[in-house]
Amino acid sequence: AQSVTQLGSHVSVSEGALVLLRCNYSSSVPPYLFWYVQYPNQGLQLLLKYTSAATLVKGINGFEAEFKKSETSFHLTKPSAHMSDAAEYFCAVSRGPSGGSYIPTFGRGTSLIVHP
């Protein structure tokens, strides 16, 4: 079975500081990996996705993530946080164990808090 672990339910940074949100996955086959962002009272919006092409993936709003197979990680980073980045972030993995089903599995989410 596939699963996702997001380390830290809350991450607090100062405006302008580096953002690092951690995600580790487990999957019996090469995964497809996603990061989504959820602003208050809204649905989820895709930030970026990894689908076995380049291991460093660039997304919207200056975010990027690196797929590290040896560490089974897909951490999300942004060099300089903005106040507008404050939101809930979800990591998701999608790849069925037998190739027939690709139900996406989400982590519990990390709330990013940005201080002025």
Partner 1 sequence: EAGVTQSPTHLIKTRGQQATLRCSPISGHTSVYWYQQALGLGLQFLLWYDEGEERNRGNFPPRFSGRQFPNYSSELNVNALELEDSALYLCASSLEGALRNTEAFFGQGTRLTVV
Binding site for partner 1 (CB under 8 A): 9, 32, 34, 36, 41-46, 49, 51, 90, 92, 94, 96, 101-109
Q: Are 114 and 48 in contact (CB under 8 A)?
A: no
Nearer to partner 1, 74 or 90 (CB): 90
What is the closest distance, in whole angstroms, from the C-beta atom of residue 18 to partner 1 in the complex?
A: 24
Q: Which is nearer to partner 1, 16 or 30 (CB)?
A: 30
CB of 85 to partner 1, least distance (A): 19
- Give the count of beta carbons closer than 10 Å to the beta carbon of residue 38: 15
Query: Among candidates 83, 86, 85, 90, which has minimal Cα distance to 109?
Result: 90
Which residues partner with 59 through β-bridges? none
Closer to partner 1 at the Cβ: 39 or 69?
Answer: 39
Measured from the CB atom, is 42 or 84 closer to partner 1?
Answer: 42
| CB atoms closer than 10 angstroms to residue 6 | 20
